[in-house]
Structure formats: structure tokens, C-alpha cells
Structure 1
Amino acid sequence: MTKTINEQLAAMRPWCARKAEAMLPQAEVPDAVQEALIAIWKASPRVRPGRDPWPLLTVVARQEIARHARRFYDANVLDRIDEKKDADLPTAELMPASGDGELSFSPRIAAALATLPERQREILLETVAEGRTNLAAASLLGVSEARVRASVARSLELLRAALAEEVPA
């Protein structure tokens, strides 16, 4: 039994929303989902009769959501760079004022973070502390997603080692 295009779009909407939520701020999710559904609608004639449409349509949706994320983060990257230039001290990023949903680290964690190279610390804070996906952090910082993934792994290893040294045996 083949699904109509409306049934396919209804089935794809929750999947698209989950993917968009993983890559974008909540305010951008509806726009990304709408763009993905339009791309699915345009791609649906390419589905061969008798074939499962899900593989093709998920690829189309994933590409459209990633395209939306790139446009969003490219547009906001200059604003973020200006905000970072305005920080008074490098330690301001490590220990922002607590309250109002801002990050706050214990002195022990802040000291361990201070041992990281600046770029690794920046990537780690964008992904782990700010909760961004690797793709979102990569777009924001102007590096590849693979570099973000590798940098986070190295940073976490260094943090574990730095924190392990502090614990008395």
C-alpha cells in the first residue's frame, strides 16, 4: 500500500522536528521543519513505485535541515565573535556569573579548564557546556565537525587527567 504525499509528510514531520531540535535553537526549529517538508514534497516524485520512500526522504530532509543550520550559524557567527571580543578577561568565559541560566563552574573545574589550550577550551565550552551539537559548534567556530569531535575527545581526556592528579591517592 502506497502512502499519499500528505501521509508521507505527516509521518516525516516528527522525525524532522527531532533532527532540527538537535541542531538548532528552539526558535529556528519550525522554520527548519517547514523547509525540510517542502524539500520532501519536491523530492517525492523521485521515489520509484514499489520502493520504500523513507531512505530517500530522510536524506533529503537531513540535508535541508543541515543547510538551514549552516545558514543560521553563518549569519550569527559574526555576532558571537564580537561578543567574545568584548569579554574583559579570558577567565570570564570559564566562570561566568551564576544565575539567570548562565554557566558557573567550581574552582576545581575552572582550574582544570584553564589547563586546556584556548581553542580546545572554546570548542569544549560550546559543545559540552553550551549544549550545542558538534555540527552547530563547528559552524559557529568556523572549523570542521571532525575537528570539533576530535578536540572534545582530547579535551575530555586532558580534563580527566588534570582532575585525577588533584585527587589524593
Structure 2
Amino acid sequence: MNMPYDALSDKMDDVPNEALLTLFANGDDAAARVLTARLLPRVLGQAVRMLGERSEADDVAQEALLRLWKIAPQWRQGEAQVSTWLYRVTANLCTDRLRKRGRMAPLEAAPEPADETASVAEKMQSRSRAEALSAALAELPERQREAVVLRHIEGLGNPEIAGIMDISLEAVESLTARGKRALTAILSGRRDELGFSND
């Protein structure tokens, strides 16, 4: 008798990503479904923020996951984290697409879940802030933008970002610091318009 997917998912909640990938490589399709459910939202979010376009981001996320499934039989646990590997692949795929376009596209912030308690004015202000951040991020050099998005939007730590971007910790710190200063300068004249106090 086959166990329902929800029961399998609950059973695998505590299984690390690397172990799930190994299970998939050994023929466990349920492990792939659980791993996809875990990783797809973050990969898609990263691609949307880098590309600024949902349909293209969908293609990148799908390609990144396909590459993960292809390398699954050769995966060696303990050498790298699946999430770090996948972030790097996603970033590279996005960069390739941006270079093919011949220009850097403005980033669209991923849509926030609707807040039923927020007023229309609050929703409009949140949207304005997201659009302003997206436009400001688009003005940053590519590497600064990638570092800032991974650190301050994706919430990754510097060591993980260093692995994804294949740079030193010092370079990550430098890129994120310069990126934050540039964002502050770009947005400084819009504090009142965006509803930020001087505190």
C-alpha cells in the first residue's frame, strides 16, 4: 500500500537536503517531491529578484532543479550544501540571461503575501517601497546587487554567500557594505515620499 504524499512529507521533514538528494538518486521519488517543495520557492524568489520577470524566473528555477536532479547520482555528502550549490547555479543562469539581454533588467520585488489587516494606504506605501528598492537595486553593479540580495533579502550568511559567489568572505563583506551605502545614497532623497522617519 502506498503512503499518501502528505504523510511521506511529514516523515521527511527532518531529513537534510543532502540526504534527500541521495535518496532521490537511489530511486526515491518522494524525496524529490519533498526537496522540490523546500527549495523551489527560494530559488524562484532569487531568480525573480535577479531577473525582474516571473516567466523567465520560472524557466531558470526549472533549469536549476533539472541540473540538480542530473547531478544527484554523483553527489557526495559532506562536500557542499545542496542549497548553496543551487543558489550558485541559479545566480549563474540568471547572469547568463542578463548578459544575453545586453542590459541589466530592473528587479521586481517578489510580491508580498496580502495582509488582510493592512489599509489600502499601507498597501500602497508597501508597494511603493518595494518598487523603490527594486529600482535602486537595479542601479547597483551586478556583483553588489547579487551580494545584497543574497544577504539582506534571502537572509544568507556571509560564508554561504562566499560559496555561492565563489569569492572570499572579505569580498562578500566589501560588496554588501558598498551595496548598502549605494542603496542608502540612491534612496536618501525619497525618505519622506516613502514614509520613513529620520530616526
Task: Return the TM-score normalized by structure 2.
Answer: 0.41
Higher radius of gyration, 1 or 2: 1
Task: Return the TM-score normalized by structure 1.
Answer: 0.47
